[in-house]
Amino acid sequence: MKKFIQTLLVASLFIATIVNAEVDKSALKKQLQKNMPALTIDEISPSAINGLYEVMAGANIFYVSADGRYLIQGSMFDLMNKKDLTEEKLAIAKAALINSVAKDEMIIFKAPKEKYVINIFTDIDCGYCRKLHSEIDQYMAAGITVQYLFFPRAGKDSDSYKKAVSVWCADDRNAALTAAKSNSNPPPEKTCKNPVDAHMALGDELGVRGTPMMITPKGTIYPGYMPAKKLVEALSLESK
């Protein structure tokens, strides 16, 4: 019902602000930045509705009127084709963000016979993160390469954050991560140049609210724990 109401709001705005000619995007951008100085705008383009413009800001999409006065936050649906137009664009933006992370800025458990890749934001002290990692061999045996990014939910300077940094600074990061998640032999506290803050900032931009959070190279998000068999089914459907 909420999404349907959002659709009606978009339609109402269209009726009230319809504009046949494309506006000056530069002027519209300046107006938006004046009203929302903290917003970093990546792109402005006409939406599927005349007179309504799509604003890309990282992994967020907004819709604004041609004069920059009215803003709508929500999903736009094509009822005729039964498509969520907003989600399609968001997936592209999320894919660009996650795929921009260099391989050497993640801890990777590579499948011997790789079929799929999944990126996972993880917290060393999260119960379901530990459950997932205890089954890491099952994921790899199923052809899933797991690429870990850190997202200590308790924030910077928490014990979870310090553990993440210590794991990254260990001589064998994969072994250190496994040990830390199992509590069998936590790595000694270390500090070094690390990507943990960058991981957390990216997680915030992608809307991570809990861990584990999985995101595919195509930008599809699977929140929470998912066993290897179900994840393979999901990734297989996405690849079709």
Q: Helix 196-206 vs helix 159-169: angle between axes, to the nearest 10 degrees?
A: 120
How far is 64 from 10, CA to CA, in rounded Å? 10
User: For this structure, is 169 an active site residue?
Assistant: no
173 included as an active-site residue: no
Q: Which of 67, 129, 137, 169 is catalytic?
A: 129
Q: What is the DSSP string of 75-131?
A: --EETTTTEEHHHHHHHHHHHHHHTTS-GGGSEEE--TT--EEEEEEE-TT-HHHHH
Look up 123 and say whether it is catalytic. Answer: yes
Among 24, 104, 153, 172, which one carries the catalytic annotation? 153
CA distance 226 to 211: 12
Which of 126, 159, 171, 204 is catalytic? The answer is 126
Q: Please confirm, yes or no, whether 126 is among the known catalytic residues.
A: yes
CB-based contact 107:97 (threshold 8 Å): no
The residues assigned a catalytic role are: 123, 126, 129, 153
